[in-house]
Amino acid sequence: MADLDVGRDGIVWGCTAESQQIVVRKGITPDEISGTSWEDSTPLNVGCTNIAVCTSGHVWAVDQSGQLMFRQGIMTSSMD
């Protein structure tokens, strides 16, 4: 992992070192505090070098060319 950050809600976000993917940790529960897997959350054709989660829960990332990215809205349930 190249960079990690944790939001106030306990959701862990990261940037992978080699593939520069934006990933989010899944399966974190009181019984499974380290989680169960990483899920790719990378927008198309974007790499990530740094990531941060602000106190309001918004996710910010910087790509390899120095462009700032902002994730707006996180859904906790799947859509049918």
CATH number (domain holding residue 53): 2.40.10
63 inside domain: yes
The answer to whether 13 and 62 are in contact (CB under 8 A) is no
Cβ atoms of residues 72 and 60 within 8 Å: no
Q: How do residues 7-54 score in pLDDT, each as one tens digit?
A: 888 889 999 998 898 899 999 999 999 999 999 887 767 788 999 998
Q: Which helix (H) or strand (E) holds 64?
A: none
Residue 11 lies in a domain: yes
Tell me if 76 is assigned to some domain: no
Q: Give the C-alpha separation, 39 to 78, whole Å.
A: 14
pLDDT at 9: 84
- 48 by Cβ neighbours in 10 Å (0-12 / 13-18 / 19+) ranks as buried
Structural domain contains residue 64: yes
Q: Which pLDDT score is estimated for 72?
A: 67
By residue range, what is the domain housing residue 31? 3-71
Domain presence at residue 77: no
Residue 79 within any structural domain of the chain: no
Q: For the chain, how many structural domains are there in total?
A: 1
What confidence category does residue 64 fall into, taking pLDDT thresholds of 50, 70 and 90? confident
